[in-house]
Amino acid sequence: MPTVLNRNRQIKKLAAAALTVLIAACAGREPPSAPPAPTDAKAPAETAQPPVAPPMPMLLPASWDAIPDWQSNDPVPAWNAFLASCEKLGGKPLWQPVCSQAAMLKSAAPADPATLRNFFQTYFTPHAVLNADGSDEGLITGYYEPLLQGSKKKSTRFRYPVYGVPDDLLTIDLAELYPELKGMRLRGRVEGKRVVPYHSRAAIEQNGSSLAAREIVWVDDPVELFFLQIQGSGRVKLEDGELLKIGYADQNGYPYRSIGKLLVERGEMTLEQASMQSIKAWAKQNPEKLPELLNQNASYVFFRELPNNLSGPIGSLGVPLTAGRSLAIDPRVIPQGAPIFLATTWPDSSRALNRLMVAQDTGGAIRGAVRADLFWGFGDAAGALAGKMKQAGKLWVLLPNSPET
């Protein structure tokens, strides 16, 4: 077993190697710069380059009138979700003033729609969220909290394990060594004297011996377990009727790969047909093809037990999610905890779905500025909405005004 010092050295080597790969990748996309000209030399006219345009801002201040249905939309259902965000953000300088005002408003009297709209218009400025190319429309999907059938004991029926975090999983925060890599993490394991990638989904499925004794519960359906990992949280009904709540704890470090997209590419279904429900139907019809398909997504999620008294699953912000009002976003663009106005349509419909939401979660597939995942809640009805939701939409993030504003 390597000493702590040796393990730290291995971690630093892995981080340095990762940085080298990142630099090499960038070098492959960008031509090398020419050596600088002498200070007294003037570049020939034919070599002069046009000025480089500044990057497109992803959050652009907007007017309240630009938000569809803002004046007629009821912000009350999102109010408690925002107050939950303040429990995590209230101590931060940007959020402290507005969260203090929210607390006073909460204690004064039950809030009505007009009062809450005035609160947001007084203390926030809306910002249109834009993609890197300047467009303002993106993909809005949905997720939910599923119910699985399970047991605390392995049996012929309940033979698919829901794993907790493995003891040998290393999580390396690259920012500790290289501040410019803030937000980037590597996951791996020690093999001999080397840090290597953690086991892929296929390796875990073929040989779970390294995860022995890390089973939280056993379930009866591999497809439902696969979608539990995609959703990030769920409930398991045990044989005695008890409900066990479980939530995301960690991941093996591999990027998420959509099996729905793979089925479309393989001609198993059309893009219009691709949904959670259609993928489950395909799995029942093609059990012999299922293991190979699932293993194409090397990403594997590990769980933890959650208290049964929680009102909802815990999102990445650290507060329970609110059905229909919590949104998963890319935190590189939108700050977690911020109110967001979503303008989209109902799943598989052209009917407008415009409402105030709160950014309280993230997801492996949620990457990009105008990209969000709407949490629909728990159970089959929520799953029916989440599984069909692939809508175009727009986002406005509400950012607190500075004290001088």
Residue given tokens 């709160």 in the structure block: 358
Residue after which a domain boundary falls, among 177, 212, 247: 212
For residue 97, being part of any structural domain is answered with yes
Q: What is the predicted pLDDT for the residue at 56?
A: 54
Which domain-ending residue is among 196, 212, 228? 212
Long-range contacts of 182-185 (CB under 8 A, 24+ apart): 183/331, 183/332
Q: Could you tell me if 113 and 236 lie in one domain? A: yes
Judge if 139 and 191 occupy the same domain: no
Q: Are 21 and 157 found together in one domain? A: no
Report percent pLDDT > 90 for the chain: 73
Q: What is the pLDDT of residues 61-96, one digit of tens each?
A: 999 999 999 999 999 999 999 999 999 998 899 999
pLDDT at 168 (0 to 100): 92
Q: Is residue 264 part of a domain?
A: no
Report yes or no on 263 lying in a domain.
no
Can you say how many angstroms the Cα of residue 54 is from the centroid of all Cα atoms in its chain?
28
In a domain, 330, yes or no: yes
Residues across the chain: 405
Asked if residue 401 is part of any domain, the answer here is yes
* Residue 25 or 350, more confident: 350
pLDDT digits (tens, 9 = 90+) for 225-265: 999 999 999 999 999 999 999 999 999 999 999 999 999 99
Mean pLDDT of the chain: 85
Same domain as 307, residue 391: yes
Q: Residue 253's pLDDT is what? A: 92
When mean pLDDT is compared across 129-133, 178-182, 307-311, the lowest value belongs to 178-182
User: Comparing 395 with 193, which gets the higher pLDDT?
Assistant: 395
Average pLDDT of span 173-195: 82
Mean pLDDT of 338-357: 97
Q: Is residue 302 part of a domain?
A: yes
Looking at the fold, whether 160 and 175 belong to one and the same domain comes out as no
For residue 401, give the nearest of 96, 193, 130 by alpha carbon: 96
> Beta strands 390-400 and 339-345: pairing type?
antiparallel
Clarify whether residues 3 and 67 are in a common domain: no
Across 34-42, average pLDDT: 32
317, two tokens = 């912000």
Asked if residue 6 belongs to a domain, the reply is: yes
- pLDDT for residue 281: 95
Token readout for 227 is 């979608």
Task: For residues 152-177, give the mean pLDDT.
Answer: 91
Q: What is the pLDDT of residue 15?
A: 44
Mean pLDDT of 49-56: 47
Q: Which residues contact 395 (CB under 8 A, 6 or more apart)?
A: 128, 129, 138, 329, 334, 340, 341, 342, 343, 370, 372
Residues 143 and 175 in one domain: no
pLDDT band at 50 (very low <50, low <70, confident <90, very high): very low
Q: How large is the average pLDDT for residues 183-206?
A: 90
Is the pLDDT at 294 greater than 80, yes or no? yes
Q: What is the CATH classification number for the domain harbouring 382? A: 2.40.40.10
For position 109, what pLDDT does the model report? 73
Q: Quick one: 185 and 223 in the same domain? A: no
Among 20-29, 142-151, 221-230, the range scoring the smallest mean pLDDT is 20-29
Once rounded to an integer, what is the mean pLDDT over residues 284-311?
95
- Structural domain that includes position 10: 1-29+167-212
Which range, of 150-159, 183-192, 262-271, averages the lowest pLDDT? 183-192
In the chain, the percentage of residues whose pLDDT exceeds 70 is 85
- 97 and 187 belong to one structural domain: no
Residue 332 lies in a domain: yes
- State both tokens at 193: 């004297």
Same domain for 75 and 180, yes or no, is no
- The answer to whether residues 339 and 398 touch, using CB atoms and an 8 Å cutoff, is yes
The pLDDT, as a whole number, for residue 324 is 97
Task: Name the band, by pLDDT with cuts 50, 70 and 90, for residue 18.
Answer: very low
Stated pTM of the model: 0.79
**Structural domains counted in the chain:** 2
In this structure, the answer to whether residues 12 and 123 fall within a common structural domain is: no
Residue 9 pLDDT greater than 60, yes or no: no
Question: Do residues 160 and 174 share a domain?
Answer: no
89-145 pLDDT per residue, tens: 988 999 999 999 999 999 887 789 999 999 999 999 999 999 999 999 999 999 999
